[in-house]
Amino acid sequence: MISLATGKPAKDEVEPTEFPNAQDPQDDPYDVRKCAEWIQTNALKQVCLQFPDNLLADSVEVALRLEKDVGQKVYILGDTTCGSCCVDEIAAQHINADGIIHFGHACLNPTTRLPVFHVLPKKSLDTTKLSNEFKQIFPDCARKILIFYDVAHAHQIGPASIILGRNYALENGYNIQDYEGFFLGEEGKTLAILAMGIPVKRWYCFANGEINEFEALNTPWLKRRRFLIEKLKDAKVVGIVVATLGIQEYLTAVNTVKRTLKQKKKKSYILSVGKLNPAKLANFPEIDAFVVVACPENEVFDSREFLRPMLTPYEVELAFNSAREFCPQYFMDFRQILPGGHHYVDFKPSVDSDVSLITGDVRNSEDDALCTDQMSALTLRSSGTIAIGKAGAQYLQERSWKGVEQRLGEDPVRPAEIGRTGLAWEYTNESLSTNDNDNAQM
């Protein structure tokens, strides 16, 4: 039996060849006609077009064609807040948009604020070769197989549990462990997170014209994640980085992580810095580890360039929730472990001391860490004495340099003055002139 898992459009960048320049208007890779129909059907007035960086060169042409078809202005998002595979509702709200058309590879995470129309990339597929390979690998028609496919093949497939924007249905009387998984697409981030989150017996993928078995759990990447979980257990101060502003329930995930860290008596910051890079987060040297609430396909979890460990909400659960038992799955989609998710587990803090596998020190769950939400709040020590607690923001108060501040009422009021004019190499109000330079050379 074969079950087809379909995608429900609401990091890998698509290659430019997936959106070739169309010579025939009927074979338009950007589906301008369908975009126009969607705008008119929904009576939208302020529509934004979101392109990945490698497709921005075609954005103006697409926008002009679309404006001609709908008879109104459309807007191009020149940059995205977090990642190009996620729908950027925050940037679109700068013009009070009432709809977004997203082009290119999509992570299929559902949005909360605006309606979205996806124009997915289109990859060619040798169906004859796929069919022949499939018959050789799966000769037994009684084997149960779930077929998933990359969004680039959605145009060739006409189509419940939901994971990573895809849903699938199981035959009555069977569970997911009775099935094998088959992914129509190249090996990459999308396949890896599907394979880690769906516990079928084994996974296969169709890449480079042949079908190969794919193993996601027995990888060096997962071994490194276990090491980073130990680093999180040792951390005193943790930064909660909001790297998405559009995925449903991201605020619930932030609050859940914050509450868990507070129960473990760890100070925490909540940070929103847009697209993540090592230089931005290096501005917070007092933070020992970062927990990133982001799209499952975010490449930040694969990077070794960051100064501090970068962890997921699920890894916070593995570190501090003693009620979560070990399982061979790994949930990159934080919605799976939130209340109402398929793999939610009530939080139960550990009460026993343990030994750090990195430093060898004893980690005591009953230490005297004073962590509060407000700077001057009174807190109760474990011994029963009362003291003034320290919120995470106190680190910023103690810095010698704090960035651009308003300093309201601290500086005298002065009238506006004309600044420098001219070219940077010699402003008009500088005493040194070209003639002086010529005289000096003589």
Q: DSSP letters along 38-107, please?
A: HHHHTT-SSEEEE--GGGGGGHHHHHHHHHHHHTS--EEESS-SS-TTS--HHHHGGGT-SEEEEES---
pLDDT of residue 399: 67
Q: Which two tokens stand for residue 418?
A: 């004309």
Q: How far is CA 2 from the centre of its chain?
A: 31
Maximum average pLDDT range among 60-64, 85-89, 270-274, 277-281: 60-64
Residues contacting residue 155 through CB under 8 Å, at least 6 positions apart: 120, 122
- In the predicted structure, residue 3 carries a pLDDT above the cut 70: no
pLDDT of residue 38: 93
- In the predicted structure, residue 15 carries a pLDDT above the cut 50: no
- In the predicted structure, residue 235 carries a pLDDT above the cut 70: yes
Distance CA 268, CA 226 (A): 21
Q: 437: which DSSP letter? A: H
pLDDT of residue 312: 93
Overall average pLDDT of the 179-188 stretch = 83
pLDDT of residue 435: 54
Q: What are phi and psi of 284, to 5 degrees?
A: -120, 70
Overall average pLDDT of the 112-136 stretch = 83
Distance CA 34, CA 256 (A): 40
Q: What are phi and psi of 17, to 5 degrees?
A: -70, -15
Q: Which range is least confidently modeled, 11-15, 22-26, 111-115, 259-263?
A: 11-15
pLDDT of residue 257: 94
Domains and CATH numbers, the chain: 32-119 (3.40.50.11840), 127-214 (3.40.50), 220-355 (3.40.50.11860), 367-397 (no CATH)
Closest-CA residue to 260 (of 334, 340, 349): 349
pLDDT of residue 274: 80
Inter-axis angle of helices 313-320 and 220-234, to 10 degrees?
Answer: 60
Overall average pLDDT of the 38-57 stretch = 90
CA distances to 81, 206, 358, 376 from 152, rounded to whole Å, are 23, 13, 43, 54
- Yes or no: say if 232 and 266 are a contact pair by the CB < 8 Å rule: no
Give the other-Cβ count within 10 Å of 22's Cβ. Answer: 13
- In the predicted structure, residue 87 carries a pLDDT above the cut 80: yes
The rounded mean pLDDT for the chain is 78
For residues 134 and 403, which has the higher predicted lDDT (pLDDT)? 134
Query: Which pLDDT tens digit goes with each residue over 291-335?
Result: 999 888 888 888 889 999 999 999 999 999 988 887 778 888 898
pLDDT of residue 160: 41
Q: How much of the chain exceeds pLDDT 90, in percent?
A: 21
Distance CA 44, CA 137 (A): 48
For residues 8 and 295, which has the higher predicted lDDT (pLDDT)? 295
Residue 388: which H helix or E strand, with range?
strand 386-388
Cα dihedral: 259, 265, 271, 277 (round 10): -120
